[in-house]
Structure 1
Amino acid sequence: MFSIRGVDLESNLISIVDRAKWSRTHWLIFASTSIGFFLWGIINTLGYAFFPVYENIYYLVVVAATPLLGDLILSRISDKIMGRKKTYMITMSLYGLGSLIIVLDLLLLEKSIIQMVIFLIGYGISMFGIEGENPIGLALLAELSPIKKRQNILVFSPNFENIGAAAAAGIAIAVYFMKESLLIMGVSIAIMAIIGLGIAILLRILMPESIRWLTIKGKIDEAQKEVKKIGNVNYENNLENQNVLASKVNLKERFVILTIWALANYLTWSLMAFVIADFYFSGIALIEVIFWANLGASVAGLIVGPIINKVDMRNYTLISFATATLSFLPILFYIMAKINSPIIFYALSFFNLMFITFTWFVRTIYEPILFPTHNRAFMIGIVRAIAMTTYTFSTYLLSSFPMWAFAVYGMGFQGLGLISSIYWKTNGLDVRNKSLENISQ
């Protein structure tokens, strides 16, 4: 097992977390957060897949806006009052309740305004919980992962959102030609979410609370109990540059940079993975665009996850935003040349979302690492909320745009991300193998 060395108890507790060998407890943490991301992908896709039922732009605006409050409220509760693990119990209850409302709404009510409103209430409750869980999950992963595995885990676990979205779209395609296909699809996806919820409850009961959050709150005795769940520690596992501060970029500047990256990624990812399908496609093609786009995003995680700890994050960030920006050019050519081939567009969507998702992993790594523990989840939530607000406005604005302007709009935001990544390349820090306490000041 481990022993606590030295006079600084808090530092030693954190050192145990940072130097820990990968253990059963880490698998519990990884599985728990991954299921949460998977459910996010499932429920998020459900909202966009049902757009053809209602054909109402305000429906899409509500779908885009509902996660906003969860990001802000639940992340604040996590930082200030309840910690990571206990807040997780609230989020699970919310998306469990929301999924149940969706199932009952689809089974018991005929299509009508009332049915749409109740569907959106269920969807909103689910997304309030599931979206509010995202900043908490990222904070938990950063705070409890061994440093040598931290970046890998901050790619692999969030990538289950993409896998969940692709799985939900796959179900929708599989049942599309059945009688009452939308009903079957909606109920199937919601039931899958409820089953996932049951598994998540068991995993989250067993996993530890964040040691860093407990120590920052002065709950040292509880932190000592929780750290015993971590497992063995390798004291020969030297960590690099532990006395190096974050960079020449202060906290306010980091917040601005992360917000620009969130705008570039969240907005273009959501628009190109979901909204473009609802605006410009119909029938099974709408669902197939969502499927292939999210499949491309899923593949991105499988490519990046194994290698992310081997490359300088500043270089990765610059290359990611450059390739994501360039990936819009083939789509623009497809549109301007008036090519009419669903198969070609599916392929373009696959690769466009793959490159856009490379930039998402910039966010899932940097956001929880560059913010301090006492405000980590909330500051991630604020960054996401700004991006969501812009995305909600953009969804309404772009409803009257031609398809080429839609693509140019997304490319422009990726360009902003590229500009800020150049600034970070020259002023930021490679965050590999460094303690959160030394890079989040």
Structure 2
Amino acid sequence: MENFTEIDKKSKINKYQWIAIISASITMFIWGFLLALAPIATQWPFVPPSDYTYLLVAAPTSLLIGNLVLGRYTDKFGRKKLFIIDMILFAISIPLILLSNNVVELGLGIGMAEFSLGGDETTVLTYLSEISPKNHRGKIIVGVTNIANFGALIAALLSIVTSFSIYIQRLSFGILLALSIPVIVITRALIPESFRWEYYKNVVKETKVEISKRDYTIRLYFLVSMAITIVLTYALMALIIGPYLFPRLTSWIIFIYNLGETIGGIILIPFVDSFSRKIIAFIAYLGGSFTMALFIPQFLFARSIIAIFMALLFLNGLFGELGWAFRVIFEPELFPTNIRATGIGLVRAIAYSLYVGSIFLTSGFSEFTYIFYNLGLWLFGLSGATLWLKYGIETKKKSLEDISDIIKNI
């Protein structure tokens, strides 16, 4: 495989990059599937309503730890080694989920799965950004991560179709999860280590990063505000609102929101490397704030019309995907190679810690308080996007080295 300076000059995607894309796509599908599993599992007969909160909190708590731990070890030991370790942990989690007969066993299974696959997203983003040609980096990252929305959508659809039998539902979940493992392991075994990681690990022992304190502060505020907005609003509007406020609509809410997210990603892919990322990111958070605000008159004047509620979920999901897409693009772009996975993991851990707190905080919220809380989260993200629009750099079609202001003699 070419070195990374040659990769950035290429206009075509080579076979190793295609294998990495396929492997990462399957991983993202399964991770999205698992994201939907916890709220769906609240409908399983051995899960009492009093334990909903504890089951729902298992996923983000494990994601928080997984992002911190796996992100750090990805930078220290390499991208490929962590890919294999992640899959071993994921394989162990499957029987815990499918054979559980109580909330504790189920929560442990979901927690281990989210630790491995959720933390694995940090490694996936890092690896894809480092092996992708600069002119296609956005399309590859958005296309692959959008598969997670499709995974959640399929989980919700399977839940709806198999709602007549929890046994058949769990069996179908198990077959899908088990079949994914050999495919992911084989494809990951075929891909090489990231040349960027090898270079900075073995050639440049101490990489000099020339980033001003002001620029560094703006980058962090932008990344953290994006992560908090997207992680929390997706969780609260797609996964948590069902069990808390609309238990009978849980699977449908997950399906509709992720349908909007999936379509939003498909629409964005052809254009993401052609237009200003700063401008489109700002539009994404402005649109997300506006569509979230529309829930207020809907709850005031058309509370009983479920079709309007679902339509607004779809629209907010569409803008949610645009915000998600630029978040997963900017995260690897705005950290230098030697701390890329660590930085991504830290930003995400901050968001997931607030996710955990929000699950407990919102458990007693009224519908209006719940919507206003989500609107505040969108406005926080919009503040970061506005700041970046004015002061941030344009990353479209730039090498990772140029973006990170690392020494140029490479």
So what's the TM-score if we normalise by structure 2? 0.92
Q: Mean alpha-carbon deviation: is it higher for 135-144 or for 181-190?
A: 181-190
Separation in 1, partners of 2:306, 2:41: 21
5 Å-filtered alignment, 1:6-405, equals 13-20=3-10, 21-53=12-44, 54=47, 55=49, 56=51, 57-81=53-77, 83-105=78-100, 109=101, 115-176=102-163, 178=164, 181-218=165-202, 250-283=215-248, 285-405=249-369
CA contact (8 A) 2:218 2:387 kept: no
> Deviations 1:109-167 (Å, cap 9, x if unpaired)?
4xxxxx21011111111111011101110011100001111011111000011000001
Segments of 4+ in structure 1 off by > 4 A?
A: 245-249
- What's the offset of the Cα at 1:246? 7.7
> Deviations 1:83-102 (Å, cap 9, x if unpaired)?
11110001111111101221
Separation in 1, partners of 2:127, 2:298: 42
> Deviations 1:340-396 (Å, cap 9, x if unpaired)?
122322222111111111111111110000001111111101100000010110111
* Bigger radius of gyration among the two: 1
- What's the offset of the Cα at 1:275? 0.5
RMSD over aligned CA atoms reads 1.7
CA contact (8 A) 2:39 2:250 kept: no
Q: Mean alpha-carbon deviation: is it higher for 373-382 or for 183-192?
A: 183-192
Separation in 1, partners of 2:221, 2:276: 21
> Deviations 1:160-218 (Å, cap 9, x if unpaired)?
11000001111001111x2xx22322332232112112111111011111100000111
Letter matched to residue 94 of structure 2: S
Separation in 2, partners of 1:68, 1:292: 26
Q: Mean alpha-carbon deviation: is it higher for 286-295 or for 341-350?
A: 341-350
Partner of 1:6: none
> Deviations 1:3-38 (Å, cap 9, x if unpaired)?
xxxxxxxxxx32112123312211111111111111
CA contact (8 A) 2:218 2:388 kept: no
CA contact (8 A) 2:218 2:392 kept: no
Separation in 1, partners of 2:137, 2:218: 23
> Deviations 1:24-60 (Å, cap 9, x if unpaired)?
2111111111111111011111111011332222222
Separation in 1, partners of 2:167, 2:362: 29
Letter matched to residue 392 of structure 2: G
So what's the TM-score if we normalise by structure 1? 0.86
List alignment gaps of at least 5 residues for structure 2: 205-209, 406-410
Secondary structure of 2:99's match? helix
Q: Mean alpha-carbon deviation: is it higher for 185-194 or for 159-168?
A: 185-194
CA contact (8 A) 1:43 1:189 kept: no
List alignment gaps of at least 5 residues for structure 1: 3-12, 110-114, 221-244
